Amino acid sequence: MFPKILKFIGMVIGGVVLGVLIAFVFGWIVMLLWNRLMPPIFGLPAISFWQAWGLVILSHLLFKAGGHHPHREVAKCTPGWKHPFRDKLEGHLFADARGAEKESGA
């Protein structure tokens, strides 16, 4: 019993350490990209690692806040709304093939 618990605890601690490592690498990459691109292109000042993390958090709040997940909303829609669009698309995509069939007498 104890080996399973110790393995689980080790996996949790390893996951946390890996997550923190990935977070620091991500912040470092944002800092490098900003410092390599923004000052030469737009004349903005270079930023520190923690300022880069501030930008990451700000962008997360601005672009991912509110729990809006469009793929979940599509799953809630009834299947009936898709048919008119599919029929219209098929009409446009296959109009040339249908016209050629009619002309050839098939």
Segment 35-85, tens digit of pLDDT: 999 999 999 999 999 999 999 889 888 888 666 555 555 555 566 666 777
Q: Are 60 and 75 members of one domain?
A: no
Query: What pLDDT shows up at residue 49?
Result: 94
Q: Are 29 and 53 members of one domain?
A: yes
Domain count, the chain: 2
Q: Are 7 and 28 members of one domain?
A: yes
Q: Are 75 and 53 members of one domain?
A: no
pTM, full prediction: 0.54
Give the helix, strand, coil percentages of the chain, each rounded to 5: 85, 0, 15
Q: Are 56 and 89 members of one domain?
A: no
Find out whether 52 and 30 touch, Cβ atoms under 8 Å.
yes
d(CA 34, CA 47): 7
